A and B are shown apart, each in its own frame.
Chain A
Amino acid sequence: MFADLRQSISDWIFRASVPETPPVTLVQRRIFILPTRQGYTFGVTTLILLVSSINYALSLGFVLTFLLMSMAGVAMLHTWRNLAHLKLRPGRCDPVFAGETAHFGITVETPSLTRFAIAARRRDEEPVYADVGIAQVASIAMPVAAARRGVMRCGRIEIFTRYPLGLFHAWSYVDFNLQVIVYPRPDTAAGAPPARSRSASEEGIPVPGDEEFHMLRPYQTGDAPKLIAWKALAREQGLLTKEFSAMASSELWIDFEEARSSNLEQRLSMLCHWVLTSDRFGQSYGLRLPGVVISPSRGEAHRTRCLEALALFHEPGAAP
């Protein structure tokens, strides 16, 4: 509770207005700067150097002390400048399966000079560093373990730097409302989709092994390697996928009711596995969840739609 209070005070101080419309430029008033622990130690060091110089009347000691002190002051400006005017945009936030590592991505551009050791981190996470060159877009991907299915929100991101001397920590906050969709963890033990569900097909029962060659179509991401027409590729006709009549004509309904388990997550995991298996075989399939029906189809977009439906099923506050 105390942590919450502290957080809300911090939010109020740093005026976290969410979400922000990209691109966000880190203008002067958005950047905060404070000494690091090393910075404080450096201060103590120069103080001891100063006292020693006074005591031993070492003129070159004074020179050293004042040089280091002034340099720390200059370093503060350099640290601040290293962050100033950076342009931030949301980056890739690809969906993952539960149990995998998700990445919240942002892109960073510099308007003028190369910036070194720019770091981004989510609250209480390890930072990720990148150098940002002129006329180049640097991507920073913050990894996070996707433990459970649903929508994972990135929250406020801290962009910071300590370059060049590590004496100061300049930082700014940005919140693009980044989110990663986490699909259920596929339950490989679920086996093949239950056979009964295939009876809904209008054009006869597809029998496993009934793989009469039908046509070649352009390759789509996600097509199984064994369906790729390697001979066509060798003839330099491009990447084509073999389509079999049995698959083309059959329709499969993957149904929530078929997944027999008392646990909702377990059921969704089974459905997820079936979606993946069907997709891998180029099977046309539909998904039926309580309140959600996705009519049979195939391909990358369809697969994504189904997996998203599984990911967001009964997810409180899920975006449609």
Chain B
Amino acid sequence: MTTKPLALKILDVTSIVLLLVASYLVFFYAPMEMVMGNVQRVFYFHVASGWVGFLSFFIATVVGVIFLRTSDLKWDTIGLAAVELGLVFSFINIVTGSIWARPIWNTWWTWDPRLVTATIMELIYAAYLMLRQGIENPVRRARFGAVYAILGFVSVPISYFSIRIWRTIHPVVIGTGDPDALGSFNMTAPMRVTFFFALFTFTVIFIDLFWNRVRLGRFTERIEQLKMKVMA
């Protein structure tokens, strides 16, 4: 457990390489979009990070369920890693969404249902971390965390729909292919390539960071165990 597995080292390097390639594709290979200009390039990172953020929270929920059934604390370490990463990627998603909105609608924030839902999701998982902060007992901390993660995840789609019902006031503004969306555009082939490559890259980066984070969590646990042995 002490030395980094070779696979992970390779993954670290691969992630960096992929990110460089993806950046090249996004900034140089993909054509400039007609209407919005260069700022549209943010879109590739926006969607990719959004996807990863969502995936992360989904993993946290599934792992939460598994933990409640097995009471094995290793699932809690995984759940925590998933939430932390989800927070980071979702944040990138929200910020890039904001950057994209600025030149187009001259505002830093649009009340687009997806953006708002992403923000609520972010707040839920920030609350998750705050909940954990206030609990000493590791088993209780894990249990409460799992329950809250599950409740949070279930509420997100319902929140999305409730915001959509507000649609009459705040239409969907960000996105492709939605006929009502003001910021929509059609993707040409090179754009599509860039888009999927960015998605792929972010997923790989996610797996790399996730694996590293879970390892870190295991080390932390091990240290706690050793501390207790020494003090007893």
Co-assembled chains A and B: no
